[in-house]
């Protein structure tokens, strides 16, 4: 039984929303961030990068306090205003490929996260959880929703379908040529329909935002201890989420680029691969795998198809069937000596929405020696791994839609 609540969002005014909205801070290069802030005083980047005002790199608690100050200034200048009553928010994104994503922005329960009603499929790093928890405790808001997915639900779909026939509260197009729309669901009847519909859902899955949700849960535990009147309904017991049906979720692969062959010659490397794969040299043909357990490899100017020998490899659980895990267990760790996928500097990743050209180009430019192209995981695989309490390797999925920061803000 999922507890998904409406909330009173703080939002940019209609005339400034396109100027405020930004991608996640980490997705910009330093040059891109500075360029945007040089010419756009309304960008949300001014809030999350407060050192820009003083031309100084600021970190830790000092940065968190300045983030809070910049945010309050945006409110004082009425760049941000708050809705008067709790609402659900229908949010729709149409990307440049004309794919459409529609869902609900709402407040999800940290208790549901703790009780496994909201399930995870990725490991998180404890130091990142704690760092972001302290950030949240100081700034007092969520500005980028966690992406959650739920089984397709006719009742929720009906509310969304009817609402998007009305004039949108927000409608703007980004420089990435994605068009964003937002509608308020504020009538009491529709609010109760949505609340009951989400309550009827047994399990919701985190698609993107594992560290943000984990940090929100830690924050709730901290604040609960210090609140003698804790009821479980305080705003800190929830975190802002964008909930979309499973049919709207798009999962792409992350391809692997490796800097060397771990001291092996090309021929020695191919012989070791032969234990696990049927190998076919495809020359300059740009081969991309068409089904699970098939891999593409680019090495020394040529593509190879690698087909897993299923008589050799054992599928003991849902994780062992995931191609990213197969590649790690058969190649990356035993042959190439890559133990930790998070910290080893010999491996980098390129998401599959960019196709295989970046993989080929970076190897041709001698930045890397070998690259592997994977077949993307499915939603059902992601769910099965989460249901079995297992965790995917890092960079197993590149998930869309990608959300913007600063369009709806949740205070606690």
∠ CA 256-260-264, rounded to 5°: 120
pLDDT in tens, the chain (412 residues): 899 999 999 999 999 999 999 998 888 998 999 999 999 999 999 999 999 988 888 999 999 999 999 999 999 999 999 999 999 999 999 999 999 999 999 999 999 999 999 999 998 888 999 999 999 999 999 999 999 999 999 999 999 999 999 999 999 999 889 999 999 999 999 999 999 999 999 999 999 999 999 999 999 999 999 899 999 999 999 999 999 999 999 999 999 999 999 999 999 999 999 999 999 999 998 999 999 999 999 999 999 999 999 899 999 999 999 999 999 999 999 999 999 998 899 999 999 887 899 999 999 999 999 999 999 999 999 999 999 999 999 899 999 998 899 999 999 9
254-396 has CATH 3.30.1760 classification:
yes
User: Using H for helix, E for strand and C for coil, what is the string for the chain?
Assistant: CCCEECECCEEECCCCHHHHCECCHHHCCHHHHHHHHHHCCCCCHHHHCHHHHHCCCCCHHHHHHHHHHHHHHHHHCCCEEECCCCEEEEEEEECCCCCEEEEEEEEEEHHHHHCCCEECCECCCHHHHHHHHHHHHHHCEECCCEEEEECCCHHHHHHHHHHCCCCCCEEEECCCCCEEEEEEECCHHHHHHHHHHHHCCCCEEEEECHHHHHHHHHHHHHHHHCCCCCCCCCHHHEEEEEEEEHHHCEEECEEEEECCCCCCCHHHHHHHHCCCEEEEEEECCCCCCCCCCEEEEEECCEEEEEEECCCCCCCCCCHHHCHHHHHHHHHHCCCCCCCCCCCCCCEEEEEHHHCCHHHHHHHHCCCCCEEEECCCCCHHHHHHHHHCCCCECCCCCEEECCCCECCCEEEC
Question: What is d(CA 322, CA 121) in angstroms, rounded to the nearest whole number?
Answer: 12
User: Model pTM?
Assistant: 0.93
Cα dihedral 20/195/149/237 (nearest 10): 70
Question: What is d(CA 48, CA 151) in angstroms, rounded to the nearest whole number?
Answer: 34
Kindly report whether the peptide bond that precedes residue 74 is cis, defined as omega within 30 degrees of 0.
no
In this prediction, residue 353 carries a pLDDT of 86
Is-contact 348 244, C-beta < 8 A?
Answer: no
- Assigned token pair, 280: 């076919």
Q: What residue ranges do the domains of the chain occupy? A: 4-251+400-411, 254-396
Which residues neighbour 55 within 8 Å (Cβ) at sequence distance 6 or greater? none
């Amino acid at each position: 039984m999922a507890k998904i609540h409406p909330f009173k969002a703080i939002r940019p005014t209609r005339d400034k929303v396109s100027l405020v909205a930004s991608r996640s801070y980490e997705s910009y290069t330093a040059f891109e961030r500075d360029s945007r802030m040089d010419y756009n005083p309304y960008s949300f980047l001014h809030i999350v990068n407060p050192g820009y005002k003083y031309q100084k790199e600021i970190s830790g608690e000092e940065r968190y306090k300045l983030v809070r100050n910049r945010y309050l200034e945006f409110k004082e200048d009425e760049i941000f205003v708050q809705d008067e009553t709790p609402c659900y928010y229908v949010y729709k994104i149409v990307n440049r490929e004309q794919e459409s994503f529609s869902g609900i922005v709402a407040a999800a329960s940290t208790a549901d996260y703790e009780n496994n009603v909201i399930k995870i499929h990725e490991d998180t790093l404890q130091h990142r959880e704690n760092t972001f928890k302290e950030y949240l405790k100081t700034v007092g808001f969520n500005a980028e929703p966690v992406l959650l997915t739920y089984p397709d639900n006719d009742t929720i779909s009906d509310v969304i379908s009817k609402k998007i026939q009305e004039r949108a509260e927000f409608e703007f197009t980004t420089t990435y040529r994605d068009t964003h729309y937002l509608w308020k669901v504020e009538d009491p009847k529709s609010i109760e329909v949505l609340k009951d519909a989400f309550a009827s859902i047994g399990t919701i899955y985190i698609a993107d935002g594992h560290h943000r949700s984990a940090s929100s849960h830690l924050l709730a535990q901290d604040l609960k201890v210090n609140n003698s009147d804790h009821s479980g309904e305080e705003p800190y017991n929830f975190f802002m989420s964008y909930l979309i049906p499973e049919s709207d979720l798009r999962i792409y692969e992350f391809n692997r680029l490796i800097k060397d062959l771990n001291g092996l010659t090309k021929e020695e490397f191919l012989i070791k691969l032969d234990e696990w794969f049927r190998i076919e040299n495809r020359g300059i043909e740009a081969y991309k795998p068409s089904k699970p357990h098939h891999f593409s490899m680019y090495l020394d100017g040529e593509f190879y198809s690698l087909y897993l020998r299923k008589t050799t490899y054992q599928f003991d659980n849902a994780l062992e069937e995931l191609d990213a895990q197969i590649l790690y267990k058969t190649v990356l760790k035993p042959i190439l000596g890559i133990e930790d996928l998070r910290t080893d500097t010999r491996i980098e990743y390129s998401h599959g929405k960019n196709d295989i050209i970046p993989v080929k180009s970076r190897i041709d430019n001698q930045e890397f020696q070998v690259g592997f192209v994977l077949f993307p995981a499915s939603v059902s695989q992601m769910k099965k791994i989460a249901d079995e309490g297992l965790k995917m390797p890092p960079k197993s999925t590149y998930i869309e839609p990608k959300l913007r920061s600063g369009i709806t803000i949740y205070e606690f």
